């Protein structure tokens, strides 16, 4: 099979199959195919930067870039993000960066003609130095802890089995580390232990199954035969391929990807799941210090679109994609003056709050809570603040935060041992409404905008609330399982049902009505508008024919005057980077 003639996603899958020994990619005949998004990540030794391959701005070829992990630590990149630093500019595609142990250099490989060329470049950019070639089209590089050698995948002959070799960075000389038996397809995915005494790698049998193996090392020479790491899976675990592996920083365990991320002791045993992942994980990297991990996975892009609202003609606001990113994005909200939008995104490597112009340009990160995932941002009526929710450090509970719209440190407003989520401002900006289960069931509460004692608003269930723009009513869903929209007078009174079949996370208010996303509609999801005046629910026209509207946090955002509407649409599958602490 020729990987280079496949689609972008097919290209990555081809590389996965090829690296597993199931098929071999043919020589390059068309290098215009490449994975969409950022892929092949490698962490700096301290875990505060990441290098990756990326074909930016719809480019034809992938190149090597370096970027900060903005939320790690929180002080690393306040305000507007710097653009990623591009390290390579060659006309051939570059892949597989590997960060040197001292943090000064990055090794990578370049696909050229029939070989994979191995290069070295400064982590700050500069002149490249070619170290050698590999007959394997994807050499998969790994540094020795002393920075003197690079382990990589190669073969002795074009039709031979792949094996792990060691390349001297100083002399460019090479030596073999593994010798795969005849009944195998070869060895790949090298990873050298922090003490340099053990090489971990994947060995694939001709039947297609693969395992993790250890090769003991005496300096730069193999010491004895390779031994298989005993991974004791549960009986119901499928035979999923191993697509990446790395040592933990202390050298006590191996982290590997196989239908999710797993950690297993270097002595063997039952693996512990770290994350299931949203899609297919392709590669991973672990920082040499600390517990930072980054991986790439294939999942659909999330796109933010704008279309005409109930009070505008379709010609005024034709369906337009305003944000498309290989990093997750959701929960759009429009400022009261209609000039800015805020949303939650994974752009920085963790979920943070962002803002931009209404066309998606001039994006600025507002929150910097690092490993506290954030979401559900809402503008204050005067546009000076954004309120949002964020998970507590235990990953189970949530609190309410507020941040200045020009940036700065977020203020935590709630600290109850409860789930506090989905906040919004009152019209007079004196109160912030939010959803909480602090009494045992989810209800709507409100807290002074400057912080203070919370007051319960609903008594019979409540989940996600918005105050009407005239300040007369509070609209809210009854609960996550009861799909109906209710309202109660701001000054108090009876709770009244407004509309059935409303997911509490998927509605947005404007002056004359409410937009509702019906994610279960067939043959595809639909957006409706419910008019307060006529009390009728009508289908919103003008969505793209291929629209797959998907819930993403709170999925809709309405502009003032019901002029236009933001919604989230599923885009093509691409490679996303994810970072977390293991």
Short-list 362, 422, 270, 391, CA closest to 80 = 362
- Cα–Cα distance measured from residue 137 to residue 140, given in angstroms and rounded to the nearest whole number: 9
Residue 222 lies in a domain: no
CB 66 within 8 Å of CB 85: yes
Burial of 254 (0-12, 13-18, 19+ CB in 10 A): buried
What residues does 425 pair with on adjacent strands? 432
Inter-residue contact 150 to 177 (CB < 8 Å): no
176 in a domain, yes or no?
no
Determine how many CB atoms are found less than 10 A away from the CB of residue 267: 9
Around Cβ 371, how many Cβ atoms within 10 Å? Answer: 17
Q: How many domains does the chain have?
A: 2
Spatial contact of 16 and 44, defined as CB atoms under 8 Å apart: no
Residue 453 tokens, joined: 């004692």
Using DSSP, state whether 319 is helix, strand or coil: coil
CA–CA separation, 559 and 552 (whole Å) = 18
User: 144 burial class (0-12, 13-18, 19+ CB within 10 angstroms)?
Assistant: buried
What token pair was written down for 142?
């790994």
Is 103 among the domain residues?
no
Count of CB atoms situated within 10 Å of the CB of 117: 20
d(CA 91, CA 110): 10
pLDDT of residue 236: 63
Distance CA 330, CA 6 (A): 30
Q: Which residue has the tokens 């509070």?
A: 474
Helix extents (H) in 140-270: none
Residue-level pLDDT, tens digit, the chain, 582 residues: 233 323 334 444 444 444 444 344 333 223 334 457 889 999 999 998 999 999 876 667 899 999 987 543 333 344 445 678 999 999 899 999 999 999 999 999 999 877 899 999 999 999 999 999 999 878 889 999 999 999 999 998 888 899 999 999 999 999 999 999 988 999 999 999 999 999 999 999 877 788 999 999 999 999 999 999 999 887 666 667 899 999 999 999 999 999 899 999 999 999 999 988 778 899 999 999 999 999 999 888 888 999 999 999 888 999 999 987 766 788 999 999 999 999 998 777 678 999 999 999 999 999 988 767 899 999 999 999 999 999 866 667 899 999 999 988 999 999 899 999 999 999 999 999 999 999 999 999 999 999 999 999 999 999 999 999 999 999 999 877 788 999 999 998 999 999 998 988 889 999 999 999 887 778 777 889 999 999 999 998 867 766 666 655 568 999 999 999 999 888 888 888 888 888
End-to-end CA distance of the chain: 37
Residues in the chain: 582
Per the structure block, which two tokens stand in for 573? 């599958």
Q: What angle do CA 399, 405, 408 make, to 5 degrees?
A: 70
**Contact indicator for 9, 33 with CB cutoff of 8 Å:** no
What lies within 8 Å, CB to CB, of 400 at 6+ separation is: 387, 388, 389, 412, 413, 414, 420, 421, 423, 432, 434, 447
Return the HEC string of 516-543.
EEECCCCCCCEEEEEECCCCCEEECCCC
Instruction: Tell me whether the omega of the peptide bond preceding residue 581 falls within 30 degrees of 0, making it cis.
Output: no
- Rounded to an integer, what distance in angstroms lies between the CA atom of residue 128 and that of residue 227? 37
Exposed, middle or buried: residue 565 (CB in 10 Å: 0-12, 13-18, 19+)?
buried
- Omega before 245 cis (within 30°)? no
Angle in degrees, CA 570, 15, 106, rounded to 5: 95
Is residue 563 within 8 Å of residue 309, measured between CB atoms? yes
Domain that holds residue 406: 299-576
CA–CA dist 445, 541 (Å, integer):
35
pLDDT at 349: 66
Contact of 64 with 94, CB cutoff 8 Å: yes
Residue 84 lies in a domain: no
Decide if 478 is inside a domain: yes
SS percent in the chain: helix, strand, coil, step 5: 5, 45, 50
Sheet with 149-154, side-by-side order of all strands:
142-143, 149-154, 163-168, 174-176
- Per-residue model confidence (pLDDT) at position 76: 39
Return d(Cα 499, Cα 483) in angstroms, integer: 9
Q: Residue 347, SS3?
A: coil
Distances (CA, A) of 120 to 101, 104, 152: 13, 10, 13
Classify residue 31 as exposed, middle or buried by CB count within 10 Å of its CB (0-12, 13-18, 19+): middle
Residue 240 included in any domain: no
In a domain, 479, yes or no: yes
Q: What are the angstrom distances between the C-alpha of 22 and each of 359, 421, 534?
A: 45, 47, 62
201 part of a folded domain:
no
Torsion over CA: 412, 418, 423, 429 (sign): negative
pLDDT of residue 83: 76
Q: How far apart are CA 53 and CA 348, in angstroms?
A: 16
């Amino acid at each position: 099979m020729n990987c280079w003639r496949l689609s972008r996603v097919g290209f990555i899958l081809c590389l996965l199959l090829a690296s597993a020994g199931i098929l071999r990619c043919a020589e390059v005949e068309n290098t215009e195919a490449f994975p969409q998004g950022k892929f092949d990540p490698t962490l700096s030794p301290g875990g505060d930067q990441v290098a990756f391959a990326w074909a930016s701005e719809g480019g034809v070829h992938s190149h090597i870039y370096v970027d900060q992990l903005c939320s790690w630590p929180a002080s690393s990149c306040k305000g507007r993000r710097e653009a990623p630093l591009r390290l390579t500019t060659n006309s051939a595609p570059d892949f597989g960066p590997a960060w040197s142990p001292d943090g000064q250099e990055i090794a990578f490989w370049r696909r050229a003609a029939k070989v994979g060329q191995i290069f070295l470049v400064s982590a700050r950019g500069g002149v490249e130095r070619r170290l050698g070639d590999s007959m394997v089209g994807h050499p998969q590089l790994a540094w020795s802890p002393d920075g003197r050698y690079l382990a990589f995948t190669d073969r002795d002959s074009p039709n031979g089995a792949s094996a792990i070799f060691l390349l001297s960075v100083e002399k460019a000389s090479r030596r073999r580390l593994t010798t795969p038996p005849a009944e195998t397809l070869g060895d790949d995915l090298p990873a050298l232990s922090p003490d340099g005494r053990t090489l971990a790698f994947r060995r694939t049998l001709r039947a297609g199954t693969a395992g993790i193996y250890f090769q003991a090392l005496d300096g730069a020479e193999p010491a004895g035969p390779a031994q298989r790491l005993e991974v004791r899976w549960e009986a119901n675990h499928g035979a999923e391929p191993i697509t990446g592996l790395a040592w933990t920083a202390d050298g006590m365990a191996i982290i590997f990807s196989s239908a999710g991320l797993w950690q297993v002791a270097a002595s063997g045993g039952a693996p512990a799941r770290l994350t299931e992942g949203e899609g297919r994980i392709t590669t991973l990297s672990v920082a040499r210090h600390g517990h930072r991990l980054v991986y790439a996975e294939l999942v659909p892009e999330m796109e933010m679109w704008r279309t005409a609202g109930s009070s505008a003609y379709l010609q005024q606001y034709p369906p337009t994609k305003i944000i498309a990113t290989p990093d997750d994005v959701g929960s759009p909200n429009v400022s009261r003056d209609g000039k800015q939008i805020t949303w939650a995104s994974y752009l920085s490597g963790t979920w943070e709050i962002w803002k931009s112009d209404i066309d998606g340009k001039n994006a600025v990160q507002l929150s910097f809570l690092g490993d506290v995932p954030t979401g559900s941002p809402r503008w204050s009526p005067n546009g000076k603040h954004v309120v949002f929710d964020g998970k507590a450090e235990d990953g189970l509970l949530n609190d309410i935060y507020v941040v200045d719209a020009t940036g700065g440190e977020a203020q935590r407003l709630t600290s109850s041992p409860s789930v506090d989520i989905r906040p919004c401002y009152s019209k007079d900006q004196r109160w912030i409404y939010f959803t909480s289960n602090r009494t045992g069931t989810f209800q709507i509460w409100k807290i002074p905008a400057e912080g203070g004692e919370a007051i319960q608003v609903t008594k019979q269930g409540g989940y996600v609330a918005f105050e009407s723009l005239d300040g007369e009513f509070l609209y809210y869903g009854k609960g996550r399982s009861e799909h109906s929209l209710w309202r109660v007078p701001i000054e108090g009174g009876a709770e009244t049902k407004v509309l059935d079949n409303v997911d509490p996370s998927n509605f947005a208010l404007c002056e004359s009505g409410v937009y509702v996303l019906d994610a279960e509609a067939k043959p595809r999801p639909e957006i409706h508008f419910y008019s307060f005046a006529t009390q009728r629910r009508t289908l919103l026209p003008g969505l793209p024919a291929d629209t797959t509207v998907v819930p993403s946090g709170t999925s809709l955002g309405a502009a003032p005057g019901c002029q236009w509407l933001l919604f989230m649409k599923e885009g093509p599958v691409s490679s996303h980077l994810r970072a977390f602490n293991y």
